[in-house]
Structure 1
Amino acid sequence: MSITTKDVEHVAKLARLDLTQEEKEVFTEQLSAILKYAEKLNELDTEGVEATTHVLHLSNVMREDVTHESLPAEKVFLNAPDEEDGQFKVPAVLE
């Protein structure tokens, strides 16, 4: 399969790109080369090759979800610039 200039013009129209004739020719050549390479991959013998979602084995590396006591409110508010009714008090950001 190869790409034609009409194909490039169609995609350019969809993407609302105004391409020059030179750009259309360059993109036609480049996209055709990409498709030729993809066709080469179809020639490979993949019989017996297990399907993968990633080339490297990945595993979840999260820690155990263990509950523990949280800091008392008095310690939490020690570094707070201002506190009111057990909440951080900050300057208003809405008018």
Structure 2
Amino acid sequence: MKAVIFDLDGTLIDSAPDIRKIANEVLAGEGRAAVTLAETRGFIGSGAAAFVSRMMAARDLPKADHPRLLEQFVARYEGAVDLSRLYDGAIEV
């Protein structure tokens, strides 16, 4: 075998709590209400840009702010692992 490829985030690791924390930091800076963990899970999929778009739409933020808020989100996301955990059974995989 020359390589093994697997999907870590969302498959072996539940990073939604960290993503929620980051989203809420960005939203607080805009004076908007926090997102719930359930909302966060619903926004996840297709990358950071799509997540931020969904988050912004849910909190009625102008689309023109997307580049700035995406930059803030990504800057916080890098290295955010305080709340991420392995899913049950991930060790066996």
The answer to which structure has the higher helix fraction is 2
TM-score past 0.5 threshold: no
- TM score, norm. by length of structure 1: 0.32
- TM score, norm. by length of structure 2: 0.32
Q: Which has the higher contact order (CA 8 A, sep 6+)?
A: 2
Bigger Rg, which one: 1
